[in-house]
Amino acid sequence: MTTPGEEMHALVERLYPLCRSITGDGVRATLDIVGEYVPLRVHEVPTGTQVLDWTVPQEWNIRDAYIADGSGRRVVDFAASSLHVLGYSVPVSARMPLAQLREHLHTLPEHPSWVPYRTSYYKPEWGFCLSQETLDAMPDGEYEVCVDSTLADGHLTYAEHVVPGQVADEVIVSCHVCHPSLANDNLAGIAVAVFLARALAERTPYYTYRFLFAPGTIGAITWLARNAERVERVAHGLVLACAGDPGRLTYKQSRRGDAEIDRVLAHVLTASGRPHHITEFTPYGYDERQFCSPGFDLGVGSLSRTPYAGYPEYHTSADNPDFVSPEAMADTLAVCREAFAVLDRNRRYVNLSPYGEPQLGRRGLYDSLGGRSDAKQAQMAMLWVLSLSDGEHTLLDVAERSGLPFDTVAAAADALRDAELIKA
């Protein structure tokens, strides 16, 4: 029987060959596969649509691309890897000497066997990405250059999956679907989001969870522009990226810095004992910067393992399925599940017997602890919940102040609520 980590890795391997960009059939093919795992509502937004301060660009699609030497042998071939073409390359069919061709070639001299990932979304360019070793082996002479692509009016495509909750307030979970063959920076985040959605659907969560599968930057901006009336319902949010590498977990705070999601992730990571790092918000990175822009100021943070540009394989052909592991993705998924379990149970309560300590024994609350190995801890949790149930403190406040595990505090609150000593 396969584990969730192995299933996520298999999804990464399946998505890896597709040529994705900010628009085009590669995005649609990606969403078609994701739709086999969770039902999606797919949106198509026409070229030219004004979205906040941006405009939906023309749609880019590519069928073939290569550089061939004088014998007709393809020395660089898009069919071998979608990274070989500069993203959004305009069509070209020409013959030219290597000296002229070099102006359109991108390599990584410091990693001569790797192919870089490069794009030119908003400036008409064409180009190829190749290893330095390949370039060094190309003799002077004339080469045939072909990019069989189209850049024309079309659509920007994104998709949503909703896990209904007990309330209409929403938690946004966002991942980007615009990168081509990059396993960690893109596909691992998609895989974790998919399996997180499936896990949440196994129960009825408190919040409604909205999963966004959209191209980076322009996709989030488009969603925000088209959902102005829904933004007020967004209580919390999390952007997933770089979710499968071997590094420690990193949580980047929202712009607020003290949003509930920030506190929940810090508590869960610390309480779990996992190696981790908490970083402050910066207006550079993934789509948390769109959700946290001043006009929206949503409580949206970002969870990754090694952050963007923090590992040598970032945006190169070395970010392949071998670079990500089932174990790392399973660990990222587990943290998401733990964090959302806290988020869903984090309430404020009011003590219904606030004058003096209520008699817990008479209500059978002490008896219910008999034989428990954590009886003293559970008893202390009840006392702390009663003490801080003033309508101002949340259960997370109680856990942080008391030093007790959140699950113990939440269980105490459940028992006290059932005994009608507190109410939400």
Q: At 94, phi and psi to the nearest 5?
A: -160, 165
Task: State how far the Cα of 381 lies from the Cα of 183, in Å rounded to an integer.
Answer: 43
| Alpha-helical runs (H) found in 16-63 | 25-34
C-alpha distances (whole Å) from 16 to each of 98, 270, 289, 320 are 31, 33, 26, 8
- What does the block give as tokens for 324? 């990500």
258 annotated as ligand-binding: no
Residue whose entry in the numeric block shows the structure tokens 């259960």: 395
Distances (CA, A) of 70 to 76, 146, 148: 13, 14, 20
What residue ranges in 270-408 does DSSP mark as E strands? Answer: 276-279, 300-304, 348-351, 390-394
Tokens (6 digits) for 405: 């595990």
Asked whether residue 185 is marked as a ligand-binding residue, the answer is yes
Alpha-carbon dihedral sign for residues 320, 325, 326, 328: negative
**Which has the closest alpha carbon to 185: 79, 84, 302?**
302
Amino acid at 289: R
Residue closest to 45 by CA, chosen among 157, 129, 194, 183 = 157
Feature table: binding site: 179, 185, 315
Feature table: binding site for Zn(2+): 179, 185, 315
